[in-house]
A and B are shown apart, each in its own frame.
Chain A
C-alpha cells in the first residue's frame, strides 16, 4: 500500500478567516470609561487646586482635629489591585471556555468590589467630618463618592456579564462582553491609583 501525499499551500487551502466581529460593546465601554475617568479627574483637579491654594496661604486642608487616615485608602488600593487579577482571570477563563473558573473569578471580583466600598465607608467613619466642614472636605467627598459610583456601575456591568456567561452567551471568541466590563474595571483601578496618590499619599 502506497501512501500518496498531496502538496497543500497553506495560504490557499486554509479555511477563510471568519469576518472580524464588530466589537461594539468593547468600543462603547472604552468611550464610557474615558468619560468616567475624565469626570473624576476633573473633580480631583479642582480638589488639588483648592488644597494647593490653602497650603500656599498657610492654612490646613481640613478643619482642626480632622486627620485623613492612610490605612483605609491603602486597603482600598490593595483590594482593587487584587480585583485586577480576578477580572483578568474571568476574561481568560471565558475565552478558554472554562466557565467554572470564570464564575469563581467573577464572584471574587464582585466580592472585592464590595470590600472596596466597605473600606471607603470605613474611611468616612474614621474621618468623622461633616460634608459642610470646609470646601476641601466637600471636594474630598465629591471625588471619592463619584469614584464609588463608578465602582458600583462597574460591579453591575460585571454582574450582568456574569449572568450572560451563566446563560451561555459569553463563550470562547464571544467573550467580548466580559472584556468590555474588564476594560471599565481597569479604568476604575487606574483612576483610583491617581486618587490614592493625590489624596491619601501626598495629603
Chain B
C-alpha cells in the first residue's frame, strides 16, 4: 500500500521589497540613457529636424537666384541676412545635418556590426549627443538674432562661434567613441581585416575627422577671441571655416558612402565582396587623400593660399583612382552574384553615380587653364557655381547613402521595415533631384555665375536664370523626396508588421540579433572566421547533410 502524504502547505512569506530600482521609462529613459541605440536615434532625429531647416534655406536661396538683378541688390552690404541664410545652408548642411546623421547611424550600427554589447565610453557618447543638441540649438539662436557669418549683432556672432565650437567638439567626442569601439570592442575572432566594411569606412572617416575637426575648432577659438577682444567683423568668419566643406576636406564626407555601398552590394548580390582586402585598402587610400586640415586659409593674407598648388591639384585627381578601383570591385561582385534590386541597392547605386560625377567635376575644376566662358580672359572655375555643384554632388551622395542606410538598417533602428516600393521611389526621386539640383550649377559656373554668395552677373543672364530655375525644380524634387522619406519612417514606426531578425539575409553581425536589438545586443554570437560571418553560417548550414 502506498501512502501518499499531503504536500506541506507552502509557508506564507511576505515578499521582500525589491532592492533593485525599476528601469527608467519614457522621457527619463531617453535623457539618462547610455544605450548606443537610443543615443544614435537622438542624433538621427535631431539631424533630420535640422535637415528641414536646411532644406528651407536652400530652396529660398535657389528661388532668389531666379532674378539675378534682384539678387545683386540682396547681396549688397545692407542685406547681410541673405548672406547669413547662404552660410546657414552650407554650415547647417554639413555640421548640423550630414555629419550628425553619419554619427547617428554609426552610433547605432557600429557596435552591432563588430559584435559589441555597447559603444565605448557610453557616458562620453551621451555627452556628445547632448552637446550637439545644445550647440545646434544655439547656432539657430545665434542666426535668429543676426549673429551668423556676415551678421551685425556682436553678441550674436560670439554666440554663433561658441555654439559651433561646441558642436564641433561634440562631434570629435562622438568620433572618438565610435573609433574606439571598432578598435577595442570587436567580438572574438573579428580581426581588423574582418571588420565589416561599413565599420571600417567609419573608422577611416573618424580618423580623417579627428585630424580635421580640431583644426576647425582652433579656427573657431581664435575667431571668438578676435571678435571678442580685437573687434573683428563677422565677414571673415565664413572664410575661416568654409575650407572644411570645400575640396579636399569635403571629400571626407564621401568615405561613409563607400562603406555603405560596400556593405549592400554583396548582400543584394548574395555573394561575398570581391577582393574584400583591396576594398579596405581603397577606402583607406581615400581617407589618406582627403585629410584637409592643411587647407585652412591664411589668417592675415590671401584666403586660399593652397588653391591650384600641387597638393590640391594632386588630391583632386588621385582620389579618382581608389574610387574607380572600388567601382570595379563592386561590378565584379554584382557579376558573380544573383542581384536583387532592393531599395538599399538602389540608394547605393544613386549615391555612387552622384559621387562619381562630383569627383570628376572636382578634377576638372583643378585644371587651371579651363576658364569660364565670359568675354575677356575669363576666370578659373573655382569659386564659381561649379565649385558649389562639386560640393553638392558629394554631400548629396552622402545624404542618399545615409537615407539608404536608414532604410537598410531600419529593422535595427526602429524595429520596423520601411515600405519597399515607396523606398525605391524615394531613391529614384533623390537621384533625379540631385541631378537637376546640381548639374545646372555646373553649366552656370562655366557661364560665369558666382559661387556661395553669387555676385552680379553681366553676361548670359537669361540662360543662367533658366538654369537656376531648373536647379530650383531639382530642389523641390529633393524636398519632396526627403519629406516622403520622413513620412515613410513615421508610418513604419506606427506600423505593426515585424520585419524579423534578418529580412535582407545580411552578412554581418547586426543581423544575428533581434529587431530591434535588446539591451546588451547579443544573446550569443556565431563563429567569426571571415568578414561575413552570417553568410558563412548560412553556407555551413546549407552544406551540412
**A: which residues have CB within 8 A of B?**
19, 22-24, 27-28, 31-32, 34-36, 38-40, 42-43, 45-46, 49-50, 53, 131-132, 135, 138-139, 141-142, 146
Contact = CB atoms under 8 A, between A and B. Distances in A.
B301 A32 contact: no
B230 A39 contact: no
Interface string B201-215: 000000000110111
Contacts of A31: 175-176, 179-180, 210
Contact of A42 (B175, B218, B229): B218
A38 B215 contact: yes
Interface in B280-300: 293, 296, 298-300
Contacts of A135: 226, 230, 300
A42 B225 contact: no
B222 A46 contact: yes
Nearest to B216: A42
Contacts of A23: 184
Contacts of B298: 49
Interface in B123-172: 124, 172
14 contacts: A27-B184, A31-B180, A36-B214, A38-B211, A38-B214, A39-B217, A39-B221, A43-B221, A43-B222, A46-B222, A49-B300, A132-B230, A135-B300, A138-B226
Contacts of A53: 300-301
A138 B218 contact: no
Contact of B180 (A24, A39, A40): A24
B431 interface: no
A139 B299 CA distance: 11
B120 A35 contact: no
A47 B259 CA distance: 38
A50 B184 CA distance: 41
A135 B226 CA distance: 8
B299 to A, nearest CB: 5
B34 to A, nearest CB: 14
B414 interface: no
A19 B177 CA distance: 23
A22 B185 contact: yes
Contacts of B308: none
A45 B221 CA distance: 14
B429 to A, nearest CB: 39
B221 A142 contact: yes
Contacts of B225: 131, 138, 141-142
B121 interface: yes
B176 A32 contact: yes
B167 to A, nearest CB: 15
A132 B172 CA distance: 30
A16 to B, nearest CB: 13
Contacts of B301: 49, 53
A160 B9 CA distance: 56
A139 B222 contact: yes
Q: Residue among A19, A31, A39, A139 with the most chain B CB within 10 A?
A: A31
Given A22-B184, A138-B229, A39 B214 contact: yes
A50 B176 CA distance: 32
A182 B187 CA distance: 28
B183 interface: yes
Interface in B92-130: 120-121, 124
B356 interface: no
Given A24-B120, A32-B176, A39 B218 contact: yes
Interface in B51-91: none
In order of increasing CB-CB distance, the 9 nearest A-B pairs are: A42-B218, A38-B214, A22-B184, A42-B215, A39-B214, A31-B176, A28-B180, A35-B214, A43-B218
Contact of B183 (A27, A39, A49): A27
A43 B214 CA distance: 10
Most buried by B among A23, A35, A138: A35
Given A43-B218, A142-B225, A28 B120 contact: yes
B219 interface: yes
A24 B121 contact: yes
Interface in B169-205: 172, 175-177, 179-180, 183-185, 188
Nearest to A40: B218
Contacts of A142: 221-222, 225
A131 to B, nearest CB: 5
Contacts of A34: 210-211
B15 to A, nearest CB: 35
A40 B184 CA distance: 27
Interface in B314-358: none
B221 A50 contact: no
B293 A35 contact: no
Given A24-B120, A53-B300, A53-B301, 14 more contacts: A27-B179, A31-B175, A35-B172, A35-B176, A38-B210, A38-B218, A39-B215, A39-B218, A42-B296, A46-B218, A50-B300, A131-B225, A132-B229, A146-B221
Contacts of A49: 298-301
Given A24-B120, A28-B121, A46 B299 contact: yes
A56 to B, nearest CB: 10
Contacts of B120: 24, 27-28
Given A24-B120, A50-B300, A42 B293 contact: yes
A42 B299 contact: no
A37 to B, nearest CB: 8
Contacts of A141: 225
Contacts of B121: 24, 28
Given A22-B185, A42-B215, A28 B293 contact: no
B300 A38 contact: no
A144 to B, nearest CB: 13
B520 to A, nearest CB: 16
- A36, A42, A146 pick with most chain B CB within 10 angstroms: A42
